[in-house]
Structure 1
Amino acid sequence: MALKKSDLYSSLWRSCDELRGGMDASQYKDYILTLLFVKYVTDKAKSDRNSLIDVPAGGSFDDVTALKGDKEIGDKINKIIGKLAEANGLEKVIDLADFNDEEKLGKGKEMQDRLSKLVTIFADLDFRGSRAEGDDLLGDAYEYLMRHFATESGKSKGQFYTPAEVSRVLAKVVGIGPGTRQDHTVYDPTCGSGSLLLKVADEAPRGITIYGQEKDNATWALARMNMILHGNEDADIRKGDTITSPQLITGTQLRTFDFAVANPPFSIKSWSNGLENEYGRFEFGRPPEKNGDYAFLLHILKSLKSNGKAAVILPHGVLFRGNAEASIRRELLRRGYIKGIIGLPANLFYGTGIPACVIILDKENAQARTGVFMIDASRGFIKDGNKNRLRSQDIHKIVDVFNRQIQIERYSRMVPLHEIADPKNDYSLNIPRYVDSSEPEDIQDLHAHMDGGIPDRDLDALSGYWEAFPSLRAMLFKPNRPGYSDLTIGVTEVQQTVLDSDEFQKFATDVRARVDDWFAAHRPMLQALNADTAPKDLITRISDDLLARFKDTPLLDEYDVYEQLMTYWHSVMHDDVFLTMNEGWLDAAKPRKTIEDKERKLSETPDLIVGSGRSATKYKMDLIPPALVVARYFADEQAEVDTLNAAAEDAGRAVEEYIEEHAVEDGMLVEAMEDGKISKTLALTRLKVARHEGADPEEIRALQHLIKLHNDEAVTKKAAKEVQAALDMATLRKYGDLSLPEIKQLVLDDKWAATIRDRITGEVNALTLTLVSRIRQLGERYAETVERLDTELEKLKTKVAMHLAEMGIS
């Protein structure tokens, strides 16, 4: 049965959340992820004989499933997980969650029911076909759960998870990519649940050797499970405090690595408690006793090979705080170790709401480094619940700009070291000192207010539009005097003038053609989707090409175009690809009856309903919405339905208007009203009484006419309903007749291509609204001169004086 990925995830989360009761999300996640782990390794052992995890008899998820309804289910699950742990040396890793804890899971029947339902949820999932590329059901479901658990856990307990979007930025700017070898090493000294390390591993298609350390015992166990779940069973994740007890050492020295990434706890006060061996980490200065930010940064620097590279998330304070931190910062800059700084938006992380930055360290050719590349990406994000989140376009822009060292006004700049070292800056790295990301001030022009006209300076600031539409400025404006212009039309006519201009029409047509050419180039690949397709590689290829095709388009920001595709990919297209890969084109396109699963809290909204009342059958069309089938094959029938619906609306409106006209006080229909309405039944009842009482003939005629209007409405509604029912049945039958080429045409051309084209065309329309809004603002701002206002004021003063004189007031 076809079922969208997004439905599986949301169903899984709702089910888990429903069963957690009063338990804190940060605790409950250990139960959920432990069951997810046992289910995954059990399924993998069935399909992969070379699996590194041994699933012994009595230690599988099948054994857990057999316990549903068992009075001792909690204790027996513990024993099953214990056997699995013992067989693989995973004691104190996968067996930390106590499934027999009455305080957390309830007593007796409550625990029995809760765990039985929980087991049922996971029993329905099948991970045997799970892919290693990160496109698999398991990896995405895990990511979905982790993000929700982090959100629910709150600031104090959500630090185990670094948002996937930020992790991708770090992985890409640190230099890991297709050229990375499997024997290259990556290290995270504060690895949490391992999510950051895994995103780094995703960027290395040939593989990379993973090392990490985590202080919290439960989170360390989570990281170990996480590595196994994602096919990195041999990752070396140590337990302990990285600063006071680094575990990855060689003799008396810290082990060194090719790459490092980290999201350490911000500004930790107790970083030096129990510190005995500094391992030469603080050669450039000892961090303040009450702030450990530089302790982690210096530890990472010391842990890099001579050509090593790192990306570290830290609070902005490390860029400008004084005293000991200023001394350390100066030494790092003088030696060229800091390659770049990226300022991120506030409220991205689950452990804190403050804005953070990414510091990129690079020891390779450090002595020859002459500047620090800075990016202010603080304005690029989208609201997502109570957090902010980087969009696909924000990630891509940050990575492109940093890796290519592209300088963009108000966004990025290569800042020379001599400027940073200047006494006025004194080695401060505070980004606003060097990159002013604020919007230019909208300056009021006094001369324009005095003498009229729109300043040419303000019009010149719209140069991007005039470059895209060369004759539009002359069409909209005429000279007033040197440096000032006047609108040639009224401000209310500006938008239509822009939309009707030949140049705008050509621009919009060219954009649509560019999208069509892009889609045509990739259509053969999309048409060839099958079980071996790697969705991540697919979307990377087509989205990067779209970005490249719009790179030199005037006015349009190629990253805005890219975001339209990526938003559609995440919301719809990825689900479609997943269905097609797993079900095949023909099966994925088949209608299915909607799911009503009370236990999993899954209730679907039907796309098509055939029949009515209790005999109605509700259908879901996951891949091809009915509207697409109707538009292509039943356009005439839909036009008839639309005509009948319009007639029914007219008939209903005629009823409302007649009642409104005659149900007023002393009106002919007022006696038939009840609660402000007159139904057909009320009208018939009143007509019967009126005839019996010998009422005013006018009232009887009014009631008869109203009944006729009600009958006309009922007839047109019935006709529309019957034709709609016939169309729905024909549409359902058509799904069964669709050939493979027809299915691909509906999905590729009518759904994907058309939607992406419309979304990108919407970006073009949005541009015109921005231009029109600014022109209207300028036109209205300088429409009235001070002289004209003074004249009007004098006239009003004279009128007031005259009125006062007439009233006898001097």
Structure 2
Amino acid sequence: MTATTDIGQKLWTLCDSLRDDGITYLQYVTELTYLLFLKMMQETENDHQLPEGYRWADLVGKNGVEQLEFYRSLLLHLGSKDSSKRVQSIFANAQTALKQPRILKKLVQSMDEIDWYSAKREGLGDLYENLLEKNASEKKSGAGQYFTPRPLIDSMVALIQPQVGELVQDPAAGTGGFLIAADRFVKEQTDELYDLPQELQDFQRQQAFYGIELVQDAHRLLLMNLMLHGIEGDVALGDTLSSDGQRLKRANVILTNPPFGTKKGGGLPSRDDFTYATSNKQLAFLQHIYRSLKPGGRAAVVLPDNVLFEDKQGRSIRADLMDKCNLHTILRLPTGIFYAQGVKTNVLFFQRGTTEKGNTQSVWIYDMRTNMPSFGKRIPLTRDHFQEFEQCYGTDPNGQSERIDQGETGRFRCFTREAIAKRGDNLDISWLRDESLQSDELQEPEVIAAEILERLQVATKEMEALMVLLEGEEAAEAVTASVGLPLL
């Protein structure tokens, strides 16, 4: 067992003991972020970045009610203008969920007793990633929506191959998994950046990785995660589907897993550069992504099935994507990997063209879903599960490696742009015979329910759009009648 694994287990076991006091997993990880930040500033000799009197040693030096009261004032003070921008962001609107002085004392003492020297040698970022993964795997924490499984991230990054000097964006950054994996990929090719001249080292640490996260609690976890991995890029708190997203620099690489569902309140994105207005967040994010790529830039994006088949604006957005980009590969992912049964997702791999029309000539689809297990705690997803797909994808990041269509009995097939157009630009394509449907074994009720709900949500949105259209026609008729004009 490594030092970071051992420390992570100790910290997580401590969380289990605190649950009896009403502390949730997410509250615990957030609380741990505050305390771990203070402790790391001390361990890395960066205490000078914090205001005097509001450091780890000051917290340790107090006891009982006085310590808890000081901790509350410390959180407030570090979120104020007396701190650096990064510190302010981590502690913005920070509040403690701790009510008992003894709980804070237990946390502080436990963290003070840890062998941080060994952890630092192995990498503090790995320790924090481990805690985030444990938190996400607990369904009750609700954090799974911010956490993409690391085997999937690592596979996507390995295929897209971010390079030194490239701008890498995640417009739905969550806790930073994609940015950190991209940074790790570059460091593995450059001896931890030491092979690079100083100017490029500075670029990789300070400018290469950037993005936006909407949720403040996730944003503070993200900043802490990036800090522990030595990444100083600008990852803002904001809404990509607003003018915040318009201000993001165009990227060479975009890696992301946008949030599922419709925009809050059912409204449309509040930005004026989208050609196709839609309340479907994934379709809106998809527009942002392919519009934000530099010519020749590439992307790998996790999206649910409804993006592949939704009609009207969905069809228009898919057609626009295939015009502006070469949508060369779709990976149909298995169910159960996002801590919710029945959620069906895909990875779309595409490259922005140098022209605005006709960039997609064919789309290769790999079916990793049919006749595959439903992954979860019983069958954990590993990088090995992506091995066959990665071999089929090839070594070229833009899907230009030589490929073989495996036919109706294989998992990897090619569909021409013309064939897709005949399907109404519907990319929800499957061909393998599902053996589970041929047996007497029924699917899990939650899987069936999730599939029904997905279809109902799409139908509901189409009905709402029709209602808006009908209301507009009725209003026009009323206005026309009031001024005595004939109806056309």
Structure 2, unaligned stretches of length 5 or more?
A: 188-192, 194-203, 396-400, 439-488
Alignment partner of 2:295: what SS? strand
2:48, 2:342 → 1: CA distance?
39
Aligned to 1:200: 182
Residues 426-575 of structure 1 aligned to structure 2 (within 5 Å): 426-433=424-431, 436=432, 438=434
Structure 1, unaligned stretches of length 5 or more?
A: 46-50, 443-810
Name the aligned partner's letter for residue 24 of structure 1: T
Name the aligned partner's letter for residue 420 of structure 2: I
Aligned to 1:255: 249
2:114, 2:392 → 1: CA distance?
41
TM-score normalised by L of structure 1? 0.46
2:365 paired residue among 343, 367, 374: 374
Alignment partner of 1:105: what SS? coil
Matched, 1:70 2:56: no
Name the aligned partner's letter for residue 311 of structure 2: G
1:300, 1:326 → 2: CA distance?
17
Aligned to 2:201: none
Alignment partner of 2:54: what SS? coil
Aligned to 2:482: none
Alignment partner of 1:413: what SS? strand
Relative to structure 1, the CA distance from residue 35 to residue 398 in structure 2 (aligned partners, 3 Å threshold; closer, same or farther) is farther
Aligned to 1:165: 151
| 1:575-609 deviation line (CA, Å, top 9, x unaligned) | xxxxxxxxxxxxxxxxxxxxxxxxxxxxxxxxxxx
Aligned to 1:270: 264
Residues 752-791 of structure 1 aligned to structure 2 (within 5 Å): none
Contact kept? 1:93, 1:221, Cα under 8 Å: yes
Aligned to 1:27: 27
Contact kept? 2:172, 2:212, Cα under 8 Å: yes
Matched, 1:340 2:338: no
Alignment partner of 1:313: what SS? strand
Name the aligned partner's letter for residue 209 of structure 2: I
Aligned-pair CA distance for 1:130: 5.2
| 1:746-801 deviation line (CA, Å, top 9, x unaligned) | xxxxxxxxxxxxxxxxxxxxxxxxxxxxxxxxxxxxxxxxxxxxxxxxxxxxxxxx
Q: Larger radius of gyration, structure 1 or 2?
A: 1
Residues 140-219 of structure 1 aligned to structure 2 (within 5 Å): 140-154=126-140, 156-176=142-162, 180-181=163-164, 183-205=165-187, 206=193, 207=204, 209-219=208-218
1:88 paired residue among 84, 97, 113: 84
Contact kept? 2:25, 2:135, Cα under 8 Å: yes
Relative to structure 1, the CA distance from residue 441 to residue 27 in structure 2 (aligned partners, 3 Å threshold; closer, same or farther) is closer
Contact kept? 2:335, 2:344, Cα under 8 Å: yes
Alignment partner of 2:69: what SS? helix
Aligned to 2:113: 124
Alignment partner of 2:277: what SS? coil
Contact kept? 2:154, 2:383, Cα under 8 Å: no
Aligned-pair CA distance for 1:145: 1.1
Aligned to 2:479: none
Contact kept? 1:401, 1:412, Cα under 8 Å: yes
Contact kept? 2:135, 2:141, Cα under 8 Å: no
2:381, 2:140 → 1: CA distance?
19
Aligned-pair CA distance for 1:5: 4.7
Contact kept? 2:258, 2:303, Cα under 8 Å: yes
Aligned-pair CA distance for 1:297: 0.2
2:32, 2:17 → 1: CA distance?
12
| 1:24-75 deviation line (CA, Å, top 9, x unaligned) | 3222221012212222222112xxxxx69725543332333333x4331112
Matched, 1:394 2:391: no
Name the aligned partner's letter for residue 175 of structure 1: Q
Relative to structure 1, the CA distance from residue 326 to residue 384 in structure 2 (aligned partners, 3 Å threshold; closer, same or farther) is closer
Contact kept? 1:270, 1:292, Cα under 8 Å: no
2:377 paired residue among 359, 365, 385: 385
Aligned-pair CA distance for 1:81: 5.1
Name the aligned partner's letter for residue 93 of structure 1: I
Aligned to 1:59: 54
Alignment partner of 2:394: what SS? helix
Contact kept? 2:324, 2:353, Cα under 8 Å: no
Residues 243-322 of structure 1 aligned to structure 2 (within 5 Å): 243-247=241-245, 249=247, 255-270=249-264, 273=267, 275-279=269-273, 281-282=274-275, 285-287=276-278, 289=279, 291-322=280-311
Relative to structure 1, the CA distance from residue 184 to residue 17 in structure 2 (aligned partners, 3 Å threshold; closer, same or farther) is same
Aligned to 1:231: 230
Aligned-pair CA distance for 1:248: 5.5
Contact kept? 1:190, 1:262, Cα under 8 Å: yes
Aligned-pair CA distance for 1:286: 3.1
Aligned-pair CA distance for 1:295: 0.6
Name the aligned partner's letter for residue 358 of structure 1: V
Aligned-pair CA distance for 1:368: 5.3
Aligned-pair CA distance for 1:116: 0.9
Relative to structure 1, the CA distance from residue 400 to residue 82 in structure 2 (aligned partners, 3 Å threshold; closer, same or farther) is farther
1:437, 1:311 → 2: CA distance?
27
| 1:699-756 deviation line (CA, Å, top 9, x unaligned) | xxxxxxxxxxxxxxxxxxxxxxxxxxxxxxxxxxxxxxxxxxxxxxxxxxxxxxxxxx
Identity level (%): 25
Alignment partner of 1:337: what SS? strand
Contact kept? 1:96, 1:218, Cα under 8 Å: no
Aligned-pair CA distance for 1:345: 1.0
Aligned residue pairs total 406
1:329, 1:153 → 2: CA distance?
33
| RMSD of Structure 2 on Structure 1 (CA) | 3.2
Alignment partner of 1:34: what SS? helix
1:200, 1:315 → 2: CA distance?
23
Aligned-pair CA distance for 1:186: 1.0
Alignment partner of 2:425: what SS? coil
Matched, 1:359 2:348: yes
Aligned to 1:105: 98
Contact kept? 2:335, 2:375, Cα under 8 Å: no
Aligned-pair CA distance for 1:164: 1.4
| 1:489-538 deviation line (CA, Å, top 9, x unaligned) | xxxxxxxxxxxxxxxxxxxxxxxxxxxxxxxxxxxxxxxxxxxxxxxxxx
1:92, 1:441 → 2: CA distance?
50
- Using CA pairs under 8 Å that are at least 6 residues apart, name the structure with larger relative contact order, 1 or 2: 2
Name the aligned partner's letter for residue 216 of structure 1: V
| 1:156-207 deviation line (CA, Å, top 9, x unaligned) | 543122221222122223332xxx11x3111111112222221222111244
1:4, 1:127 → 2: CA distance?
9
1:413, 1:126 → 2: CA distance?
52
